[in-house]
Amino acid sequence: MPRWIESKAFVLHSRPLGERDKLCSFFTHREGKIRAVAKGARRLQSRFGASLEPLSEVHLWYGEREGRELVTLRQCELIESIFDVGGTPEGEELIHHMVELVDEFCPPHQPNDKVYRLLRAALSCLRTLRGRQAELLRLYFDVWMLRLSGFFPSVDRCAECGGRISREEPVFLGLEGRPECAACQSAGRGIILSPLMRRDLRALLSEPPERWIARTGMEIWVSQFMSFLRRFISVVLEKELNTERFRGFS
């Protein structure tokens, strides 16, 4: 007999499996990332309907069997769809990016309430976005994802000499995630975080996304920091993200 489990979840991927079924992955609140077979989901009048779109939030019931990695989906009810934002190119790109980061950073079967709440906050913010704010929301999401995965360090102390770095001083942050004070700063690759950037990043880690992306004066550092983040994430994951490869061709 399978063990039946009920959980809220975000859809990550779904792809055809044979003629009738779909193979899906979800980030569930209760058990983290799981892979599931949705029987009959390819049929026109499937009971799963349109609930299997990436980053839709759903209520799941599924059956687990001892020793098997794949679970069987019994029911999947839509809580909230991102259909309304998926239509814009910025919205679409951001959704793919967020799916990819959750997929890469969250190991299977490890629940993470903070990542779950980050996703929900970012998606609710995504619904209200205007223009360039998509880039800021992406930055917000990336920094938090790195932080919650243990890769984004506190930059208040120098990793080389151990000294405190005051808020008025710049910090060098290397691609290995080591913060260094001005005196110790090595010649390695990385970015210099000015006191202004440090202030805005402190705010990022204490404010909800819709408030943070509405801050003014950040445009002078955002592009440079975004390109640092792209390289930083590819060093952490030891690979280039698909969303970055795609960007390279467009």
Which residue ranges make up the site for Zn ion (CB under 5 A)?
Answer: 158, 160-161, 181, 184
User: Residue 164 Cβ, how far from Zn ion at the closest point, in Å?
Assistant: 10
Nearer to Zn ion, 79 or 183 (CB): 183
Q: Which of 244, 247, 143 is nearest to 193 (CA)?
A: 143
User: Residue 155 Cβ, how far from Zn ion at the closest point, in Å?
Assistant: 12
Nearer to Zn ion, 40 or 195 (CB): 195
User: Residue 228 Cβ, how far from Zn ion at the closest point, in Å?
Assistant: 20
Per this entry, what is the length of the chain? 250
Nearer to Zn ion, 121 or 184 (CB): 184
Contact 85, 91 (CB under 8 A): yes
DSSP-based helix, strand, coil % in the chain, nearest 5: 35, 25, 40
Nearer to Zn ion, 159 or 229 (CB): 159
> What is the DSSP track for 52-111?
TSTT-EEEEEEEE-TT-SEEEEEEEEEEE--HHHHTSHHHHHHHHHHHHHHHHHS-BT--
Nearer to Zn ion, 86 or 177 (CB): 177
Q: Which residues contact 17 (CB under 8 A, 6 or more apart)?
A: 23, 37
Nearer to Zn ion, 160 or 207 (CB): 160
As beta bridge partners, residue 75 has 61
User: Residue 147 Cβ, how far from Zn ion at the closest point, in Å?
Assistant: 22
User: Residue 211 Cβ, how far from Zn ion at the closest point, in Å?
Assistant: 33
| Residue 129 Cα to chain centre, angstroms | 17
| Residue 124 Cα to chain centre, angstroms | 14
Contact 31, 60 (CB under 8 A): no
User: Residue 169 Cβ, how far from Zn ion at the closest point, in Å?
Assistant: 10
User: Residue 97 Cβ, how far from Zn ion at the closest point, in Å?
Assistant: 34
Nearer to Zn ion, 160 or 244 (CB): 160
Site of tokens 């360039």: 132
Q: Which of 32, 7, 12 is nearest to 22 (CA)?
A: 12
Token pair, residue 100, equals 């990819």
